[in-house]
Amino acid sequence: MKAVPNNRELSRYGISVSKRVGGAVVRNRVRRRLREIMRQLPLEPGWDVVLIARPPAAGADYTSLYRQVAGLLKEAGLMAA
pLDDT in tens, 12-36: 999 999 999 999 999 999 999 999 9
pLDDT of residue 45: 95
pLDDT in tens, 1-10: 999 999 999 9
Q: How far apart are CA 18 and CA 54, in angstroms?
A: 8
Provide the CATH number for the domain formed by 2-76 in this structure.
Answer: 3.30.230.10
DSSP annotation of 44 reads P
pLDDT of residue 81: 74
